[in-house]
């Protein structure tokens, strides 16, 4: 609908309700002259007279009465819808829809969501754990929890969760068979258990740092490609190759001796996860509340 027509109809309905141009203008904070001009434009648009008026009196014509009876409920419904949308935007309520990688579940996100849900009882949470990267524009989610290397361009991100240490793990049996690499670049000669994102062609890089803290990557040929960290660790335990994984996930097997680590001093601390969302303009209050709630936690203390 033409926004000018909608405005003219709104002014007309106010005149009919207030039974006067000046009273209508006072109600909607415009002058009586502006009200008169709006009514005249609407009459010209429709090609019919809607209001008979003199300097002292006014009355709806038959056409005006029919228009008022038909348009008034519609305008009222539109007003109610807009009011509801505005209230929903300002109220911490409704459904908070999130997408997150499976690894974040046990690291911190399950605990965080539980505490947020307790603090915000009017918010229902839909949390879908999946390792594929979703498109924020058409996914229907309010935000995605992501690692730094998966953030979309032209979007916003807020760091969340604890610092994450990575580890290069391998079974003693594999090293006994294939030999132990002496430096990270030797990994190119070994079997890699590689993590993939959406497709097997998009693999996570293996990052290392020099003594001067410069970052470089060594990406061995994959013996196995998989999008699940637990599976990566299981394949490494079976002696099928070397895996680059979160240390926290592999720690029980490192402690038991089923896996050993390589090049600990050459592996950088991974960046935290981030809450990735499209825009700061007109952000739903439920998402703003979740972001603010996440910022207040000492994740190193609460979740590690």
Residue 50 belongs to domain with CATH number = 1.10.10.10
> Looking at 90, 115, 141, which one is the last position of a domain?
90
Query: In this predicted model, what pLDDT tens digit does every residue of 7-33 receive, in sequence order?
Result: 888 888 888 888 888 888 888 888 988
Tokens standing for 243? 């895996």
A 10 A CB-CB count for 255 gives 9
Identify the domain boundary among 36, 58, 90: 90
| Neighbouring-strand partners of residue 277 | 156
pLDDT in tens, 42-91: 889 889 998 888 767 788 898 888 888 888 888 787 766 765 555 555 57
Range(s) of the domain holding residue 123: 94-163+272-302
Structural domain count, the chain: 3
Based on the domain organization, do 74 and 28 belong to the same domain?
yes
Same domain, residue pair 122 and 240: no
Residue with tokens 């908070």: 96
CATH code assigned at 285: 3.40.190.10
251 and 170 in a common domain: yes
- 153 and 142 belong to one structural domain: yes
E-assigned strand segments in 85-230: 94-100, 123-129, 143-146, 156-160, 164-170, 192-195, 207-209, 215-217, 222-226
Q: Which of 78-87, 96-105, 268-277 has the highest average model confidence (pLDDT)?
A: 96-105
Question: How many CA atoms lie less than 13 Å away from 262 in the CB half-sphere?
Answer: 26
- Mark which of 90, 124, 141 sits at the end of a domain: 90
Q: Are 103 and 272 in contact (CB under 8 A)?
A: no
The residues with which 219 forms a beta bridge, in sequence order, are none
């Amino acid at each position: 609908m033409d926004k000018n027509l909608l405005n003219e109809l709104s002014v007309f309905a106010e005149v009919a309700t207030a039974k006067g141009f000046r009273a209508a203008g006072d109600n909607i904070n415009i002058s009586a002259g502006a009200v008169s001009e709006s009514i005249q434009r609407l009459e010209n648009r429709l090609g019919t007279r809607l209001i008979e008026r003199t300097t002292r009196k006014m009355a709806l014509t038959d056409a005006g009465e029919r228009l008022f009876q038909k348009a008034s409920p519609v305008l009222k419904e539109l007003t109610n819808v807009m009011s509801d949308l505005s209230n929903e935007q300002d109220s911490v309520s409704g459904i908070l829809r999130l997408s997150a990688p499976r690894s974040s579940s046990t690291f911190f996100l399950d605990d965080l969501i539980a505490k947020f849900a307790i603090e915000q009882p009017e918010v229902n949470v839909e949390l879908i754990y999946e390792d594929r990267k979703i498109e924020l524009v058409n996914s229907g989610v309010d935000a995605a929890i992501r690692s730094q290397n998966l953030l979309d361009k032209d979007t916003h991100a807020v760091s969340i969760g604890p610092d994450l240490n990575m580890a290069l793990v391998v079974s003693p049996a594999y090293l006994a068979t294939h030999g132990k690499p002496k430096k990270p670049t030797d990994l190119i000669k070994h079997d890699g258990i590689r993590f993939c994102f959406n497709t097997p062609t998009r693999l996570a890089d293996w990052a290392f740092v020099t003594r001067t803290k410069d970052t470089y990557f060594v990406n061995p040929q994959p013996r196995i490609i998989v999008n699940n960290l637990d599976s990566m660790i299981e394949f490494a335990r079976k002696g099928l190759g070397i895996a680059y994984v979160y240390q926290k996930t592999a720690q029980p097997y490192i402690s038991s001796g089923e896996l050993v680590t390589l090049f600990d001093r050459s592996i950088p601390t991974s960046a935290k996860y981030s809450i990735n969302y499209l825009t700061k303009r007109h952000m739903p209050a439920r998402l703003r509340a979740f972001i603010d709630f996440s910022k207040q936690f000492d994740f190193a203390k609460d979740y590690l």
